[in-house]
């Protein structure tokens, strides 16, 4: 899967990390940073939480997102 900065992607599985809300499968995001081969490296997600809308950037690995 090759993509560029600004492309839309979808989470394939639950993504979580330190200081990051859990991203459920099927959530849409925008590619912020890619590897040299064009794979997504960081993706920005926008979620509606109990405290209101939150936007955050998550580092992703192979298989976490699909275009």
Contact 56, 45 (CB under 8 A): yes
Q: Is the pLDDT score of 1 beyond 70?
A: no
Q: Is the pLDDT score of 17 beyond 80?
A: no
Tokens 């890619």: give the residue.
34
Return the pLDDT at 49: 82
pLDDT in tens, 49-65: 888 998 999 999 888 99
Could you give the angle at the alpha carbon of 52 between the alpha carbons of 54 and 42, nearest 5°? 10
pLDDT in tens, 23-47: 899 999 999 999 998 899 999 999 8
């Amino acid at each position: 899967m090759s993509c560029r900065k600004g492309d839309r992607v979808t989470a394939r599985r639950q993504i979580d990390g330190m200081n990051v809300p859990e991203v459920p499968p099927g959530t849409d995001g925008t590619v912020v940073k890619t590897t040299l081969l064009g794979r997504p490296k960081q993706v920005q997600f926008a979620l509606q939480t109990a405290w209101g809308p939150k936007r955050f950037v998550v580092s992703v690995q192979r298989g976490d997102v699909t275009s």
